[in-house]
């Protein structure tokens, strides 16, 4: 992938899942605007897939418990795969303009056609995308998820919006495993707070999946999961255990040892300095490579080998 495309993929945020493409109906998309409040919002009853109530409750947990900003996030819920793809592509023009403004008029971006094509491929394989003050949801897939997976999906994508809000929507080269691992961590923790499976049980299930996958797969190091383009390649090759699973456990170790506020500070550092190695050292007090080696040993102990 060309460097300009790599920068683009950093910007576009993440791919949450790889679901089957489902046919949908043709009703209009639902648009909601979500902001944090200082008030506690009652979580939805177990099993309720009311987007407005659930998103407001997630935003409340994120801001009150994790100090993550949710500011005027426009959440569009598309009823069908085709309307979701159209929505993702329609947003591509504005995203490209903002990227050009950030990088300067001299920066060479992918052509509009390449840009749209990349977004369309992302839309075909994803359930939702989260970005600066914007979340797009493919309800034809999301509505088929189990309730706790649906809650995790929304919390995951709102976390990507918050990560972007921390740096005022600027382009940042934070490590992809940290971005995704933290979004996963928030997703599982919110689901726990809403009365779904406990975080401890979910974490153990992820460790079990990693142990099984590691018995027949070669896993990437965290450093190999730093770039979005590499992340996508590993995800396609290995599936979720070696990518999202490993990233969740790595971020959980950081939060347990350094505190969640340190992780939030790490993302905030990219507003001033767009340097992944320097910011990791500043936030966590050790180098990326030191943590990578330490985590690899730790994961070996967790999975019993």
- Residues forming contacts to Zn ion in the complex (CB under 5 A) are 14, 180, 183
* Residue 93, CA distances (Å) to 72, 78, 106, 296 in order: 20, 19, 18, 41
Which C-beta is closer to Zn ion: that of 180 or that of 192?
180
In the bound state, the residue with its beta carbon closest to Zn ion is 14
CA–CA separation, 72 vs 161, rounded Å?
A: 10
Min CB(179)–Zn ion separation in Å: 7
Which C-beta is closer to Zn ion: that of 48 or that of 229?
229
Residues 6+ apart with CB under 8 A from 3: none
* 116 close to 89: Cβ distance less than 8 angstroms: yes
Q: Are strands 30-34 and 73-78 parallel, antiparallel or unpaired?
A: antiparallel
Which C-beta is closer to Zn ion: that of 14 or that of 288?
14
Min CB(16)–Zn ion separation in Å: 5
> Encoding tokens for residue 232?
């996508």
Min CB(180)–Zn ion separation in Å: 5
Which C-beta is closer to Zn ion: that of 184 or that of 292?
184
> Encoding tokens for residue 166?
């921390």
Min CB(152)–Zn ion separation in Å: 11
Min CB(111)–Zn ion separation in Å: 26
Min CB(156)–Zn ion separation in Å: 5
Which C-beta is closer to Zn ion: that of 140 or that of 243?
243
DSSP alpha helices (H): ranges in the chain?
3-12, 51-66, 81-103, 112-125, 139-142, 147-165, 176-193, 199-214, 228-238, 246-258, 260-269, 276-284, 288-302
CA angle 153, 222, 258 (to 5 degrees): 75
């Amino acid at each position: 992938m060309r460097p300009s495309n790599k920068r683009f993929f950093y910007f576009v945020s993440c791919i949450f899942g790889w679901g089957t493409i489902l046919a949908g109906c043709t009703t209009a998309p639902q648009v909601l605007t979500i902001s944090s409040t200082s008030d506690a919002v009652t979580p939805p009853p177990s099993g309720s897939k009311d987007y407005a109530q659930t998103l407001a409750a997630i935003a409340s947990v994120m801001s009150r418990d994790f100090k993550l900003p949710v500011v005027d996030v426009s959440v569009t819920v598309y009823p069908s795969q085709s309307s979701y793809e159209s929505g993702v592509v329609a947003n591509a023009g504005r995203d490209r303009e903002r990227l050009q403004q950030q990088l300067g008029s001299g920066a060479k971006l992918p052509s509009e056609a390449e840009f749209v094509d990349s977004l369309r491929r992302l839309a075909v394989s994803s359930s939702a995308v989260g970005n600066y003050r914007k979340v797009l949801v493919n309800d034809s897939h999301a509505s088929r998820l189990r309730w706790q997976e649906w809650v995790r999906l929304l919390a995951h994508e709102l976390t990507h919006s918050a990560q972007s809000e921390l740096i005022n929507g600027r382009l940042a080269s934070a490590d992809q495993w940290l971005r995704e691992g933290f979004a996963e961590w928030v997703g599982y923790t919110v689901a726990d707070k809403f009365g779904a499976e406990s975080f401890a049980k979910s974490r153990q299930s992820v460790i079990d999946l990693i142990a099984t996958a590691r018995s027949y797969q070669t896993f990437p190091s965290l450093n190999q999961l730093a770039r979005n383009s590499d992340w996508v390649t590993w995800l396609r090759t290995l599936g979720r255990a070696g990518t999202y699973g490993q990233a969740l456990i790595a971020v959980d170790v950081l939060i347990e040892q350094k505190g969640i506020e340190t992780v939030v500070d790490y993302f905030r550092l990219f507003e001033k300095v767009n340097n992944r190695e320097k910011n990791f050292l500043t936030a966590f007090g050790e180098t990326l490579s030191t943590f990578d080696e330490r985590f690899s040993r730790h994961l070996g102990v967790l999975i019993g080998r």
